[in-house]
Structure 1
Amino acid sequence: MLLLTLISPLHAEAPDPYPSAARSYLVVLDQQLLWQRAPTQRLQPASLAKLLTALVVLDSDWNAERWITVSKYAASVPPSRLGLKEGEQITAGAALAAMLIRSANDACRALVESVTSDLTAFRSRMKARAARLGMSNSNFLDPCGFDAPGQFTTANDLLKLARAARSLPLVAHLTALPEAQLTTRAGRTIKFLSTNALLGRLDGTEGLKTGNTSQAGQCLIAYVRRQNHDVWLVMLGGTERWWLAHGMIEDAFGSIGAH
């Protein structure tokens, strides 16, 4: 419970040294809030919503080996996508991997549909799961994170979600992979790369999730660990996402001993 309450109005005095980096962000070093900008501002989550979707799916009689069928609707969703075809079958585990690593919307839709064909019911599960995490300033409507009227979240709430997601070994493992592949039931192999450009490029990066839509802008949740210290970065509505995230994380590690 302590981890879920670290970022609170009590930290309103935290400085904002990167005013042009994003509409909203926060940087945490070893559970201490270093810097923030508008951490309670309500913004679209983009594909960061897929972390919550993953938690809901994993709570729903999870069976990684279960075959799921790609619907016409799932096969037709916009990028980012794998290029799954209507009628193809992939395992639930492969769909989860593609959703978290590649942020593949076709895999996301197929996975959600395999849990329930009722989108309203899935939304209710998302809201209930978010409430259990203490995400009191969020309203998720699209499981894959497409922009939706009335949908919003905050950097504060996303840190709670990120910590909960990464506490699950499967999610932690998948979101740290720079690449992966799946094989359909018919034998077609699809290789895919992570959307997280920090993996393999910034020392200690272990995840976690990216997002980008027209309303949300460039979004990122990054987790980096070095020599028993860790840094969380949550960014919503960012610009020059990778260059700025790299610098912000390096600055956070550089501040060790000064706080």
Structure 2
Amino acid sequence: MKFMLLAAGVLACVPFFAALKERPAVAELDLESKAAILLDLGTGEVLYEKNANEPLPPASMSKMMTELLVLDMVNEGKLAWNEQVAASDYAAGVPGSRIGFAEGDVFTVRELFEATAIHSANDAAVALAEHIGGSERAFVKLMNGRAQKIGLSENAVFGNATGLAREDLLPYQAAASDRDTMLSAKDTAMLAAYLLRKYPEVLEVSKRKNVELASASKKLNSTNLMLSGNTYAFPGNDGLKTGYTVQAGYCFTGTAKQEGRRLVSVVMGSSEPGQRFAETGELFQYGFRTNGLDGLIGHIQGRLGIENG
């Protein structure tokens, strides 16, 4: 009864709150990226979407699945943060963003995880995949199995631990899957939301501007230019994962929290490095300008069995 009274009270106040803080029209957002989505993590409400169901190459944003599997293993006691990992020839030779180590170099699981999450290091991701799965190809099976369990669409495909295109993996193509990684903006957002809900501690890593690797005497900077003090800094941003390949363009899965409300955004296929961050900022501004009331009302309507009409 108390819940129904609260629901009635909230619904009755809708005109008042609407007048107090008008929700901006979605038409105000004119994003140039190929696909995008914005959701409220607390309510699950999708606040904005553009081509959100179209499968596209996500580049390194797919490393969020690599991170998820590492966290699963650690939390299940099957992997330790201080466990030593020796780099293979393949891990040492994988192209793109990297730590830059040689075959046989040894790192801890924590160092490789942080290098993957903060610097988007491909060599670190491959080293983790081989250590956990025995081979990257076996690890990819774990990735796709996990994707099914968390409810990603049937079009979601993970081809390797890095998000690189197969053509970029020469001469190591056979080490991973026979397919390229493909995710829609919606699937990417669902993956990010699942990761944040299950392991919110990942933000303690993603919010850092750099990572220092004692094993390599190196300091690697974050690829997220929306963190405080950076060019595209946005208040409350503390993650989450960038991505770039020639095939994917510039991509970014972002998250920010203001006044207790957390948003998750995905931008895919930007043509310029800064565009992904600028458009993420537009999405966040739009999302935080709403007061969250629509999501609350939708939740209450669902609890009461009320359909929109």
Taking structure 1 as the reference length, what is the TM-score of the superposition? 0.87
1:242 aligns with 2:274: no
Counting only pairs closer than 5 Å after superposition, residues 98-177 of structure 1 correspond to structure 2 as 98-136=115-153, 137-148=155-166, 149-167=179-197, 168-177=199-208
1:258, 1:125 → 2: CA distance?
A: 39
Cα distance in 1, alignment partners of residues 209 and 46 from structure 2: 28
**Amino acid aligned to 2:158:** F
Higher helix share: 2
In structure 2, C-alpha distance between the alignment counterparts of 1:74 and 1:34, rounded to whole Å? 39
Contact preservation (8 Å) 1:217, 1:238: yes
Amino acid at match of 1:199: L
Cα distance, 1:58 vs structure 2: 2.8
1:48-63 matches, cutoff 5 A: 48-60=61-73, 61-63=78-80
For 1:242, the aligned partner's letter is F
The answer to whether the Cα contact below 8 Å between 1:16 and 1:37 also exists between their aligned partners in 2 is: no
1:25 aligns with one of 36, 45, 55: 36
Of 173, 179, 183, which aligns to 2:214?
Answer: 183
Separation in 2 of the partners of 1:123 and 1:258?
A: 40
3-state DSSP of counterpart to 2:53? coil
Q: State the 4+ residue runs in structure 1 displaced beyond 6 angstroms.
A: none
Aligned residue number for residue 99 of structure 2 = 82
SS, match of residue 186 in structure 2: helix
On the 8 A contact 1:16/1:36 being kept in 2, the answer is: no
Counterpart CA distance in 2 for 1:92 and 1:234 is 27
Give distance in 1, aligned partners of 2:80 and 2:292.
45
Report what 1:7 is aligned to: none
Q: Which runs of 5+ in 2 are unaligned?
A: 1-24, 167-178, 295-309
1:93-133 Cα offsets, whole Å, 9 max, x none, are: 11000001100011111111111333332111111100111
Write out per-residue CA displacement over residues 154-192 of structure 1, whole angstroms, 9 at most, x where no aligned residue.
1111111101212314422211212121111xxx31111
- Residue 192 in structure 1 maps to residue 220 in structure 2: yes
Aligned to 1:253: 288
Q: Which amino acid aligns with 1:192?
A: L
For residues 58 and 258 of structure 1, what CA distance do their matches in structure 2 show? 33
Distance 1:225 1:170, change over 3 A: closer
Query: More displaced, 41-50 or 112-121?
Result: 112-121
Does structure 2 retain, via aligned residues, the 8 Å contact 1:211–1:218? Answer: yes
- State the AA in 2 paired with 1:243: A
Residue equivalent to 2:81: 64
Amino acid of the structure 2 residue aligned with 1:230: R
Q: CA deviation at 1:258?
A: 7.8
Task: Give me the identity figure in percent.
Answer: 30
Displacement of 1:151 in angstroms is 2.8
User: Which amino acid in 2 is paired with 1:108?
Assistant: A
- The Cα RMSD (Å) is 1.9
Which is higher, the Rg of structure 1 or of structure 2?
A: 2
Contact 1:17–1:35, Cα closer than 8 Å, also in 2: no
CA distance in 1, matches of 2:189, 2:27: 17
TM-score when scaled to structure 2? 0.74
| Mapped contact 1:27–1:231 kept (Cα < 8 A) | yes
Q: How many pairs are equivalent?
A: 243
- Aligned with 1:22: secondary structure? coil
User: 1:16–1:74: structure 2 CA closer, same or farther, 3 Å change rule?
Assistant: farther
